[in-house]
Amino acid sequence: MTEKEKRSRGELYDANYNPEIGKELLECKDKCFRYNQILPSHEEERHTAMEAILGKTGKQFTINAPFWCDFGYNIEVGENFYANHGCVILDGAKVTFGDNVFVAPNCGFHTAGHPLDIEQRNQGLEYAYPITIGDNVWIGAGVTVLPGVTIGNNAVIGAGSVVNRDIPDGVVAAGNPCRVIRRITDEDREKYKIRH
């Protein structure tokens, strides 16, 4: 079994010394570096460069530089995806974003983890578990999403949260560790209603 096959099965794999994985990692880092050098006003060039990095995109998406990821091909973003400056996606496993997802600055989505056992860790072994973000999700500034987490549709994650467990649909969740604070209600819809 190859190291990539082990990775896709959620098993420990050689993340540091495997030549195939190392080559893919460097190729993606070069693409990210080039993307981060494109002038913000060159929107079409930025769009084309990001499509060459990510595995799948909607037609409408915006990702502000700087942006970094490990492989790119494991990342899927839906329609109207927006990621502000400083987004980092460590996509050893699949990272999927639904439609209308808004990611505030300096957020990280980390599928990779390392063994607690020092000998395994020093061998360069790690694991990767997928992350799934539903539709209509707002991720506040400085949020970290850890391996294996699913965030449900219509959820809001408060700034600075560390999300280490699944979050259900339609809630506000925040904290370290992130926990559900309350459900989003009809009253929330009225709070910021534009009055004419």
Q: Enter the tokens of residue 28.
A: 């993606």
Catalytic hit among 47, 85, 110, 114: 114
- The 10 Å Cβ neighbour count of residue 192 is 6
Are 118 and 97 in contact by the 8 Å Cβ rule? The answer is no
**What H or E segment, with its residue span, contains residue 37?**
helix 19-37
**Residue for token digits 């539903």?**
134
For residue 99, what are the CA distances in angstroms to 108, 111, 134, 145?
19, 20, 7, 18
For residue 25, what are the CA distances in angstroms to 32, 90, 134, 171, 190?
11, 10, 27, 36, 46
- In degrees, rounded to 5, the angle at the alpha carbon of residue 61 between the alpha carbons of residues 56 and 66 is 95
**Residue for token digits 């995806």?**
81
Q: Which pLDDT tens digits describe the chain residue by residue (196 residues)?
A: 999 999 999 999 999 999 999 999 999 999 999 999 999 999 999 999 999 999 999 999 999 999 999 999 999 999 999 999 999 999 999 999 999 999 999 999 999 999 999 999 999 999 999 999 999 999 999 999 999 999 999 999 999 999 999 999 999 999 999 999 999 998 888 877 776 6
Decide if 114 is catalytic.
Answer: yes
Sorted by where each starts, the structural domains of the chain and their CATH numbers stand as 3-191 (2.160.10.10)
pLDDT value for 189: 80
Distance CA(49)–CA(194), nearest Å, equals 37
172-183 residue pLDDT tens: 999 999 999 999
Distance CA(141)–CA(8), nearest Å, equals 30
